[in-house]
Amino acid sequence: MPLPHTFLLAYFIAYFLLAFVWRSLLVYRRTGINPFVLPASADAYGYVGRAFKLVIVGCGAVVLGLALVPGAEVWLGPYMPLQQVSIAWIGWCLLVASLLWMLVAQAQMGASWRIGIDAERRTELVQRGLFSVSRNPIFLAMRVNLLGLFLVYPSAATLAILVAGEILVQVQVRLEEHHLQAMHANVYLDYCAKVRRWL
């Protein structure tokens, strides 16, 4: 482990505050719209929203445990062959890159940024900046973030979070694509023809 576990906890606190709390407050102050639109419905969309919250709680539990609970590493099911300094540094690079990528993509979305699908308001189809090379740069950043966590501390717990997050992101992206196609019709189809889903 190249850095103490407290650094990992500090990183995830910063990530949560910058990528979710600060951005949500910024959009709300500029527009008066609450960007948090995850539903509590019983359909697939509501299920994915609740499952995403569990993944976030899982990440929090892992980094809190590593930083504050002596011996927590044993309970997380460490995978020793991957616990190497070089792999951990790769993980840290991915964590930092994913946060920077996320913040840039959110800034480029501007007032259109949401946590979830806003079915009540028409939002701009952003095609500039990072969105000119990826249709889902924010979700891509989330995927890279979870991979980075796994590489920093390879274990059964971080692998489970990585797999769960990957499945949920893939489902959520397809739900959002359906929504955007319904909202923007041929404009969105033309965008899909020019820009790949990920990279």
- What's the pTM? 0.94
Asked if residue 166 belongs to a domain, the reply is: yes
Determine whether 40 is exposed, middle or buried from the number of CB atoms within 10 Å of its CB (0-12, 13-18, 19+). exposed
The whole-number pLDDT of residue 154 equals 97
Asked if residue 190 belongs to a domain, the reply is: yes
Residue 1 has pLDDT above 80, yes or no: no
Asked if residue 199 belongs to a domain, the reply is: no
Cα-Cα-Cα-Cα torsion 80, 75, 6, 81, nearest 10 degrees, comes to 10
Domain limits for position 68:
5-194
CA-to-CA distance for 174 and 45, rounded, in angstroms?
10
- Check: CB of residue 36 under 8 Å from CB of residue 156: no
Q: What angle do CA 114, 197, 24 make, to 5 degrees?
A: 15
**pLDDT-derived band at 23, boundaries 50, 70, 90:** very high
Mean residue pLDDT of the chain comes to 94
The whole-number pLDDT of residue 109 equals 95
Q: 86-139: per-residue pLDDT in tens?
A: 999 999 999 999 999 999 999 999 999 999 888 888 899 999 999 999 999 999
Query: Looking at 37-41, 49-53, 71-75, 152-156, which range is the least confident one?
Result: 37-41
The whole-number pLDDT of residue 82 equals 95
CA distances from 31 to 84, 121, 169 (A): 46, 12, 27
Asked if residue 173 belongs to a domain, the reply is: yes
Asked if residue 160 belongs to a domain, the reply is: yes
CATH code for position 99: 1.20.120.1630
Nearest one of 156, 187, 168 to 44, comparing CA atoms? 168
The whole-number pLDDT of residue 39 equals 79
**pLDDT-derived band at 10, boundaries 50, 70, 90:** very high
Counting residues of the chain whose pLDDT is more than 90, the rounded percentage is 87
Asked if residue 55 belongs to a domain, the reply is: yes
Torsions phi, psi of 115, nearest 5? -100, 95
How many domains does the chain divide into? 1
The whole-number pLDDT of residue 63 equals 96
CA-to-CA distance for 127 and 198, rounded, in angstroms?
14
